Amino acid sequence: MDQILIVEDDVNIGNLIQLNLELVGYKSHLCVNGIEMKQALAKNKYDLILLDVMLPGQSGFELINSCEGTPVIYVTAKGELNDKLKGLTLGAEDYIVKPFEMMELVARVKVVLRRFRKDTQLFQLDGVTVDQENRTVEKDGQRIDLTPREFTLLSVLIDNRNIAMSREKLLEVAWGWDFEGETKTVDVHIQRLRKKLGWEKQIQTVTKIGYRLEV
């Protein structure tokens, strides 16, 4: 399980980030300043650091040198172009400006972790194995053929597992911003995934919202 260190002096924001990361399967630890961050790094090894810039004492720009080679994503309200360029030039893998959607944060976290991961990560649930890197699916050892759109929708559900997603959001992410179809398209594809994977109970309908992959 990937471990993520969150360095954020706003405890409410930090707790919210921590909750959402743990919902989708990451283990996380929250620090509120650079001193706590250095103490955490001395005790544990982390796969990724989410680092705020405006921290008491040392700023996130100053603290990146203490990250000991661990990939860093800046998560900050400092959204000027010069700040972004500075953060990326210092060695951060990504730069996210507040406010942001948690789904966007989770997606960017996944991209950075995949970039630094040497082995292929598989998602397994109730006899189904999904290899997102190679875009293959097996159920009880037998290959399951999904259309490209079905696989993209499945990946979105996996990346945001345990989180209720609206039909509109699923359309936006899996079909693209310019898709002009109806939300019923999502329902049709969900039914196909349930049938092919045997996930009638795992892909749950969330009344008046959309769907959630329950893990």
In the chain, the domains with their CATH numbers are: 3-116 (3.40.50.2300), 122-213 (1.10.10.10)
Task: Return d(Cα 50, Cα 172) in angstroms, integer.
Answer: 26
In order along its 215 residues, the chain shows pLDDT tens digits of 789 999 999 999 999 999 999 988 899 999 999 999 999 999 999 999 999 999 999 999 999 999 988 999 999 999 999 999 999 999 999 999 999 888 889 989 988 988 887 555 789 999 999 998 889 999 999 999 999 999 999 999 998 899 999 998 898 888 875 556 677 899 999 999 999 999 999 999 999 899 999 98
Tell me how far CA of residue 204 lies from CA of 31, 50, 165, 172, 184, in angstroms.
34, 31, 11, 19, 16
String of DSSP letters for 1-68:
--EEEEE-S-HHHHHHHHHHHHHTT-EEEEESSHHHHHHHHHH---SEEEE-SS-SSS-HHHHGGGST
